[in-house]
Amino acid sequence: MQLKCSFCSTPFSLSKEQVNEALEAFKADKTAHYDAYCPKCRRAIKVTRRHFQMSPIHRRMLNFG
Ligand SMILES: [Zn+2]
């Protein structure tokens, strides 16, 4: 999953493991968020369920995973 740091605008991606971790959090709690850390400035970027819903592949994972 592609993300963009909201502090320094560095694009980075979540690993499969991180995506799975986030999915688990969203399944347990729909309002949960997952903290992804920017590789450049190391600040936490909030990944929400909405990020997953914007991508057809990840939306499917939310519903059927
Ligand atoms: Zn950053």
pTM: 0.82
Q: In the prediction, which pLDDT does 64 show?
A: 64
Alpha carbon dihedral 47, 17, 31, 51, in 10-degree steps, equals 40
Q: In the prediction, which pLDDT does 65 show?
A: 52
CA of 59 to the centre of ligand 1 (A): 25
Domain boundaries, the chain: 2-64
Mean pLDDT by 10 residues, the chain (65 residues): 95 95 93 96 95 89 74
CA of 2 to the centre of ligand 1 (A): 13
Q: How far apart, in whole angstroms, are the C-alpha atoms of residue 62 and residue 50?
A: 11
Task: Name the residues around ion ligand 1, CB cutoff 5 A.
Answer: 5, 7-8, 10, 38, 40-41
